[in-house]
């Protein structure tokens, strides 16, 4: 992949740098972020995407807003910056989490330049926290893959995933893919069924690229294929990520996740959600009623991008005048989730299960 992490601060240029995920897998381009506006645009235009990476980008965005500040009310300007960032994408709670945490490190009792330093440290710290979370999610999920592998007589563990909850969606390793990377490294044979994930094809474009780069056997499937594979014992487990999980265990993730969970439940296949605690919304209970679902431009559905004679082209793929709906996420009810794989361990997708792992959140 070339870049060990998905986002970093370039001290020489004094700019944040990240991979332009809109261009993968055809081009691997680095993009520079030097202002609050550029950070906001990178999130809304999906240069960066995936819940943890969106959070870390927003944290750097808050730092850049502070660094470029030249007004006469620092606190008010930072609150405005927070609102701007929060308005870019509504579903992944990591965004609001990072922005609110960044606001909480700002102090009236120190100078602006000291606050700028604190915000930089916060962004770096969040990035390193996400890396640690991914590693621990990987270790806890690895045990589940190991157990399944012991029943397979040396045959690969067949894992289905949806969208990209890989290193590109995080900083390193990923969430859903972290256990897969560690299993592969440990010599456990795995094979991944990669849902293409219409309309933006994060599975086909990003997850397949990542897994290929790591030498992990995988096969891209159209989104409608999972149920058929499950009915024919070709899937041992499903692991997906999450953009926002409520305290009672309802999971918002990329549109189409719910249908995979239904098919898994009908076929008795374990359906795991891997997520850091930064993707848990401690204030929400009912995912269906309370999680805001992003709706995006219909052109993401009607236009397809691909390579033709070595060049990237966009194509219109259906009647131009047809109406289009483009919901970015859906909610999988807690009852369909076998377990949540978090940085602190695996728990049932229930309020009790979550609070057992995170008792400090009990009185929120
Ligand atoms: O719209 P995206 O590409 O930002 O959606 C990403 C997903 O749905 C991921 O599965 C989710 O953020 C989990 S990332 C570890």
Assigned domain for 237 exists? yes
Shared domain for 207 and 73, answered yes or no, is no
Assigned domain for 115 exists? yes
- Where does ligand 1 bind, in terms of residues with CB under 6 Å? 49-52, 92, 163, 165, 169-170, 174-175, 202, 241-243, 253-254, 328
> What integer is the mean pLDDT of 288-303?
98
Assigned domain for 312 exists? yes
Q: 60-81, pLDDT tens digit by residue?
A: 999 999 999 998 999 999 999 9
> What integer is the mean pLDDT of 43-60?
98
Q: 283-293, pLDDT tens digit by residue?
A: 999 999 999 99
Residue from 195, 236, 243, 330 carrying the catalytic annotation: 243
- By CB atoms closer than 10 A (0-12, 13-18, 19+), residue 182 is buried
pLDDT at site 2:
61
* Spacing of C-alpha 262 from chain mean position: 21
Please give the helix or strand (H or E) that residue 129 lies within, else none.
helix 112-149
CB contact at 8 A, 328 and 255: yes
Rounded Cα distance, 208 and 217, in Å:
9
Rounded Cα distance, 326 and 127, in Å:
30
Is there a catalytic annotation at residue 243? Answer: yes
**pLDDT higher than 80, residue 364:** no
Shared domain for 258 and 162, answered yes or no, is yes
Assigned domain for 305 exists? yes
Residue that is last in its domain, among 76, 104, 129: 129
Closest ligand 1 atom to 51 CA? 12
pLDDT at site 265:
98
Shared domain for 12 and 108, answered yes or no, is yes
CB contact at 8 A, 288 and 268: no
Assigned domain for 281 exists? yes
Residue that is last in its domain, among 96, 129, 162: 129
**pLDDT higher than 90, residue 7:** yes
**pLDDT higher than 80, residue 4:** no
CATH number at residue 33: 1.20.120.420
Shared domain for 101 and 166, answered yes or no, is no
Shared domain for 158 and 248, answered yes or no, is yes
Percent of all residues in the chain with a pLDDT value above 70, rounded to a whole number: 99
Residue that is last in its domain, among 129, 151, 179: 129
Bridge partners (DSSP) of residue 240 are 273
Shared domain for 147 and 195, answered yes or no, is yes
What is this structure's pTM? 0.97
Closest ligand 1 atom to 163 CA? 10
CB contact at 8 A, 271 and 261: yes
Shared domain for 349 and 207, answered yes or no, is yes
Assigned domain for 137 exists? no
Q: 162-216, pLDDT tens digit by residue?
A: 999 999 999 999 999 999 999 999 999 999 999 999 999 999 999 999 999 999 9
Shared domain for 169 and 303, answered yes or no, is yes
**pLDDT higher than 80, residue 318:** yes
| Cis status, amide bond into 149, omega within 30 of 0 | no
Cα 91 to ligand 1 centroid, rounded to whole Å: 10
**pLDDT higher than 80, residue 49:** yes
Total domains, the chain: 2
Cα 51 to ligand 1 centroid, rounded to whole Å: 6
Assigned domain for 102 exists? yes
**Half-sphere exposure for 113 (CA within 13 Å, toward CB):** 0
Shared domain for 254 and 348, answered yes or no, is yes
> Residue 83: which domain range?
7-129
pLDDT at site 363:
76
CATH number at residue 177: 3.40.50.10470
pLDDT at site 1:
57
């Amino acid at each position: 992949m070339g870049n060990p992490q998905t986002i970093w601060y370039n001290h020489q240029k004094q700019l944040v740098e990240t991979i332009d995920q809109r261009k993968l897998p055809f081009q691997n381009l680095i993009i520079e972020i030097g202002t609050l506006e550029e950070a906001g645009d990178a999130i809304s235009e999906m240069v960066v995407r995936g819940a943890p990476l969106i959070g870390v980008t927003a944290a750097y965005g808050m730092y850049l807003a502070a660094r470029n500040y030249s007004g006469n009310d620092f606190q008010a300007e930072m609150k405005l910056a927070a609102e701007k960032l929060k308005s870019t994408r509504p579903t992944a709670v990591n965004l609001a989490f990072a922005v609110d945490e960044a606001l909480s490190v700002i102090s009236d009792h120190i100078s602006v330049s000291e606050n700028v330093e604190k915000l930089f440290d916060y962004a770096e710290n969040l990035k390193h926290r996400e890396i640690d979370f991914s590693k621990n999610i990987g270790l806890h999920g690895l045990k589940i893959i190991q157990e399944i592998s012991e029943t397979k007589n040396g045959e690969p563990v067949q894992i289905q995933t949806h969208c990209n909850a890989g290193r590109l969606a995080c900083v390193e390793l990923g969430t859903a893919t972290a256990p897969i990377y560690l299993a592969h490294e440990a010599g456990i044979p795995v094979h991944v069924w990669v849902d293409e994930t219409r309309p933006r094809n994060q599975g086909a474009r990003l997850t397949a690229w990542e897994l290929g780069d790591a030498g992990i056997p995988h096969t891209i499937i159209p989104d409608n294929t999972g149920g058929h594979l499950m009915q024919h014992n070709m899937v041992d487990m499903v692991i997906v990520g999450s953009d926002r999980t409520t305290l009672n265990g309802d999971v918002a993730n990329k549109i189409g996740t719910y249908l995979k969970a239904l098919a898994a439940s009908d076929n008795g296949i374990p359906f795991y959600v891997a997520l850091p605690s930064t993707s848990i919304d401690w204030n929400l209970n009912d995912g269906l009623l309370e999680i805001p679902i992003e709706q995006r431009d219909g052109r993401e559905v009607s236009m397809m991008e691909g390579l033709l004679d070595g060049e990237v082209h966009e194509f219109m793929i259906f009647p131009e005048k047809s109406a289009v709906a483009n919901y970015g996420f859906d909610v999988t009810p807690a009852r369909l989730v076998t377990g949540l794989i978090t940085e602190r361990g695996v728990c049932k997708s229930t309020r009790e299960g979550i609070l057992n792992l995170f008792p400090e959140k009990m009185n929120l």
